[in-house]
Chain A
Amino acid sequence: MNARSGRHTPKTAADSPRRPNRRRPRSASGPAAVRGVLPLFAATLFAGTVFAGTVFAESLASGSPAAAAPAVSWRQREQARIDVLRRIAPTAVCVMPPDGQGGGSGVLVSADGFTVTNYHVVSGSGPFLKCGLNDGIVYDAVLVGTDPTGDLALIRLLGRTDFPAAVPGNSDAVQPGDEVLALGNPFLLAQDFSPTVTYGIVSGIHRYQYPAGTFLEYTDCIQIDAAINPGNSGGPLFDIQGRWIGINGRASFEQRGRVNVGAAYAISGRQVQLFLSHLKSGRVVDHGTAGFSLKTDASGRVLVAEVEESSEAARRSLRPGDEVEIFAGRALTSANDFKNILGIFPSGTRVSLVFVSAGRRVRTSIRLRPLHEFSAIAEPPRPPMSGLQILIPVEPPPQWVHLYEKREGFANYAFNRRHQQRLLEPLKSRLQKYDRRNATWTLTLEDAESRMTAELTVGQRGAGLTQESTPWFQNAADLQPDAEPPDFPGLLTAAIQWHRLFRGPEESWHDVVYIGTERQFETGQPVEILQTQHDAIRCRWLFPENNDSLPCAVDVDRGIGLDEARLLFEDWSVDSVIPVPGRIGVIMPETGTVRWLQVKAVELRP
């Protein structure tokens, strides 16, 4: 096992990695240069050594409103901080391109090596990277997923299954004034990969930073005054208890040169968590657009400026001038809020929307559509670094080559393929024993409320519904929006896709992509999403987490300008001629309410 390269040629050529137990005393009493660049780290260690076990009582400033708070001496607090740092330092990662020229920071988020960093740290470095941890060891790493708009990337460190992982905190609970610790690798100072720690406070929350360059945008981020310098990018921000609350990525430099000026920005832990499972899919993950824009009027009301004609919001009757109250579950106080909230969600997320139109309050939901055209988020070339550069041609590590697969639109298709197989293989093996699943199905349905019965027939050529002797038919080869029964809009289109899924995954689709994990909007259930495409029809199949191989819902995108066909499947029965759900829910696009149909019987016809 030679995953731990041990000796890492570039950058650390002069220094073979030192062991942790030799490092600590050296930090405390090391050369002036080391102490100069790590003043806080060195100072805390020094104080910790000298004052350990000595606790001084301390009076608080008189008149302080917090006099009632438990009195904690600053030395106790310092010791607590040292303890926290010891705990979190192993989770900080020094991320380097394979040639070791330059680099940034990252944070381990799971024991199997998944590490979050900034997109701009890994961009242009190719699929394989080198990563140093504070154990002094250099690990190989493979690129997994990227989010160029939100400046996030996911990589996976290789060779261990017991990596120390950061414990996430709640970034929504962060307040201005909270103490924070930033870990990272500024100026690539530490040759043994022990992270530099900087201390500060939260300077502001829900900050919006305009796109720098083409599309990179920081939304809803945490502003801190801890020193963030080049090389800190991608490193973790922790609260003072050592809970991971963000990714340090950007700083205001402006006229002061590229050094810390006390204004830096961290991508919130909330946003990272929303993107994490999507990044694990190996995709280039896009952000979303709501299909409308907002403005704040003089009296502070948040009003609709423009609405795209073909947007879902427009179909829900959102018009310019309407007042928007809630977006994605958060109350809006300004148009800036809207940009902030929008920016933390991956494309494809369904979010709530409450607005007042013509005196009527509308509560609905919309799906965020992709922000970018596909080609716009292709990998840019790595910017040339200043100074002399020795280009070392780097071959991918032979034992890991199989972990990378190039494909357009993906950061690393190998990860997507694995997830697809994970979801589709159990489905395939379950369906194998139903050898007549290609036949035409006839389901007897009963409306859960009206007790009316209807008959749904689905086959390769299309789907039909007979409701009170009124027939409706949808042709699979020529889908027509107005061929859907008005009581159950989208049922026939979705049923055709369902039939296609059961016929056999491989041959039925033009394209299959694993998307990631989300919560189903209506039920709040955690689900895994597999996207299939046949001609222009795109389906999101939702599988329950810890899935039992059968989907719990499907959202069928019938094209721009049309509402999705959305079904819920519950209580699958595998004892009949084909697996059928006990009931099918049709989600009404106008209201989001679910109309349930009990499945009374199923029959197969040739």
Chain B
Amino acid sequence: MMVPTRPASQDMPSAGWLRPAFVGWLLSSGMLCPVPAADTAAVTTDPGQAVVKLFGAGIGNLDSYGTGILISPEGHMITVWNHLIHTGYLTAVTADGRRYQPDVTGTSAEHDLAVLKLQADPVDTFPYIDRTTAVRPPPGTQVRAFSNMFHVATGNEPVSVIHGIIAADVRLQAGFGRWQFPLKSPVLILDAITNNSGAAGGLVTDTAGRPVGMIGRELRHRDSGAWVNYAVPFETLNPVIDAILSGRTIESTQQTEKATPVSDRRLTADWGLTLLPDVLRETPAWIDQVVPGSVADRAGLRRGDLVVLINDQVVRSSRELRHHLGGLRSGLPVTMMVRRDDVLIPITIRVP
């Protein structure tokens, strides 16, 4: 990826060192003027006030914290659709230190987006960003990124803000785990290290505080180890958020990718399982070996278990089980029902 230089032409004023504009942003947020009170339902002029800290459960080396953006005075919030929102005990902490449990309103795997709603009293109101005023500035524009990176902020502390410029507006070809990066429309590549641990779901604005996009998940190049710093523009997210909020189903813009079955090698290396050799047209999904200390072992799977259900779907054969397992997202919980000595045992595993 090219690292852009700062444009020197005058016709791109927002690309300069726009201290005055930023000062204005501070004037509206900092010590010089009172911070907008939390109980005034207004579009916040301080973007950091609309960014919430998320705390849940981490899995393995996945983080137990993240970031969300408040998009309505009633407490609707968006974040990245990742393992965090499935942990079951997610807490959102607002910039002024209020704590809420969010409910998932809807998700779009394709856009890597989750819309949540804070379980708040009807009288509670929140500072929020007006996503209808979002802009999509060109590469070279200075931006600010607000996020709960490294959970530096706690309680009533505002999240961290860092500065950078939009480096490119391009389609991102990437994968995570066995999954392709789902978003097929362009994203904004940033020159600052915005996509740190816990930053996913954070807010990117221009220097005047207008919303630009949402910080995406952590993505790292498998070979070079380089991390990509990107945000999904509101222009892309807005129709999806609208659809989720109005209860419509999200229309797919792409062919659902057919999950490839998990290979024997992966099954052993990642899950710690081997199945009975697939010799019949429909070989029952008997577990032949469990690697001691593996994911499967820790979850309680044993040699001889017969997998009969996975996520409430009937497993008719070992081939079907392989297809199911190959289609699961890393970090998400999966429930298996196994038959052991004529007893059905439910077992929950985090997808490795």
Given contacts A204-B153, A252-B150, A300-B97, contact A261 B31 (CB under 8 A): no
Task: Give the distance in Å from the alpha carbon of A170 to the alpha carbon of B207 in the complex.
Answer: 25
A425–B207 Cα gap in the complex (Å)?
Answer: 60
Question: Is there an interface contact between A65 and B153, defined as CB atoms closer than 8 Å?
Answer: no
Task: Check if B87 is an interface residue, CB within 8 A of chain A.
Answer: no
Contact with B along A57-80 (1 / 0, CB 8 A): 011110111110111111001100
Contacting pair B20 A263 (CB below 8 A): no
- A77:B19 contact, CB within 8 angstroms: yes
A64 in contact with B196 given A200-B163, A300-B156, A333-B156 (CB within 8 Å)? no
Residue of B nearest to A265 (CB): B152
Give the docked Cα–Cα distance between A67 and B24 (Å).
Answer: 8
* CB–CB B196/A261 < 8 A: yes
Stretch in A132-140, A174-182, A347-355, A553-561 touching the partner = A174-182
With a CB–CB cut-off of 8 A, which chain B residues contact A240?
A: 19
A56 in the interface, Cβ–Cβ < 8 Å?
yes
B48 & A176 in contact (Cβ 8 Å cutoff): yes
> Taking chain B's interface residues, is the majority helix, strand, or loop, or is none over half, making it mixed?
loop
CA distance A207 to B161 in the complex (A): 13
- From B17, B29, B157, B197, residue with most partner A Cβ within 10 Å: B17
Question: Quick one: CB contact mask for B7-41 with A, threshold 8 Å, 1 for yes?
Answer: 00010011011111111111111110000000000
CB pair B30–A175 under 8 Å, yes or no, is yes
Give Cα A207 to B152, complex, Å.
7
A322 to B23, CA, bound (A): 40
Which residue of the partner chain, among A61, A254, A336, contacts B208 with CB atoms under 8 Å? A61
Interface of A is mostly: loop
B45 beta carbon closer than 8 Å to chain A: yes
Asked if B160 is at the interface (CB within 8 A of a chain A CB), the reply is yes
Cα distance A67–B316 when bound, in Å?
Answer: 68
| Bound: A56/B161 CA distance, A | 29
| B314 → A minimal CB distance (Å) | 39
> In the assembled complex, which residues on chain B have CB atoms less than 8 Å from the CB atom of A74?
16-18
B26 near A60 with CB under 8 A, answer no
A203 interface residue (CB < 8 Å to B)? yes
A161 in the interface, Cβ–Cβ < 8 Å?
Answer: no
A48: shortest Cβ distance to chain B, in Å?
Answer: 13
Cα–Cα, bound, A77→B19 (Å): 9
A176-B48, A252-B196 as given contacts; A263 in contact with B160, CB under 8 Å: yes
Max chain B C-beta neighbours (<10 A), residue from A58, A204, A207: A204
Q: How far is the CB of B31 from chain A (nearest CB, A)?
A: 6
In the assembled complex, how far is the CB of residue B262 from the closest CB belonging to chain A, in whole angstroms?
26
Any B CB within 8 A of the CB of A206: yes
Partner of B193, one of A65, A177, A261: A261
> Closest approach, in angstroms, between the C-beta of B2 and any C-beta of chain A?
14
A227 to B134, CA, bound (A): 29
- Verify if B194 is at the interface (C-beta below 8 Å from A): yes
Bits for B140-165, please: 1 = Cβ < 8 Å to A, else 0. Answer: 00001000011011111111111100
Contacts of B197 in A (CB 8 A): 254-255
- Partner pick for B30 among A59, A177, A200, A296, CB 8 A cutoff: A177
Interfacial chain A residues near B179, Cβ < 8 Å: none
Contacts of A60 in B (CB 8 A): 13, 18, 20-21
CB of B206 within 8 A of chain A? yes
Residues of B within 8 A of A63 (CB): 208, 210
B97-A64 in contact (CB<8A): no
Is A225 a contact partner of B155 (Cβ separation < 8 A)?
Answer: no
A61 & B161 in contact (Cβ 8 Å cutoff): no
Closest Cβ–Cβ distance, residue A32 to chain B (whole Å): 14
Query: Does residue B89 face the partner (Cβ distance < 8 Å to A)?
Result: no
A256 contacts across to B, CB distance below 8 A: 193, 196, 227
Most chain-B Cβ atoms within 10 A of its Cβ — which of A67, A178, A261? Answer: A261
| Chain A residue nearest to B3 in the complex (CB) | A39
Separation of A260 and B196 alpha carbons in the complex (Å): 11
Residue B192 CB within 8 A of the other chain = yes
Chain A residues closer than 8 Å to B97, beta-carbon distance = 300, 333-334
CB distance from A247 to the nearest CB of B (A): 18
Kindly state whether residue A448 has any CB partner on chain B within 8 Å. no
Residues of B within 8 A of A200 (CB): 162-163
Q: Which residues of B contact A370 (CB under 8 A)?
A: none
Per-residue CB contact flags for chain A residues 162-195 toward chain B (1 = under 8 Å, else 0) read 0000000000010111110000000000000000
Q: What residue in chain B is nearest A178 (Cβ atoms)?
A: B26
Q: Is the CB of A56 within 8 A of B25?
A: no
Residues of A at under 8 Å CB distance from B? 56, 58-61, 63-67, 69-74, 77-78, 173, 175-179, 200-201, 203-204, 206-209, 223, 225, 240, 252, 254-257, 260-263, 296, 300, 333-334, 336
Q: Would you mind naming 16 contact pairs between A and B with Cβ atoms under 8 Å apart?
A: A56-B10, A61-B18, A65-B25, A65-B27, A65-B208, A77-B16, A177-B22, A201-B161, A201-B162, A203-B162, A204-B160, A207-B157, A225-B162, A252-B150, A252-B152, A262-B196
Query: With contacts A66-B21, A69-B20, A333-B155 known, what are 18 further pairs, Cβ within 8 A?
Result: A60-B18, A61-B206, A63-B208, A65-B25, A66-B22, A73-B16, A74-B17, A177-B22, A177-B161, A179-B19, A204-B153, A223-B160, A254-B150, A256-B193, A261-B149, A262-B192, A300-B156, A333-B97
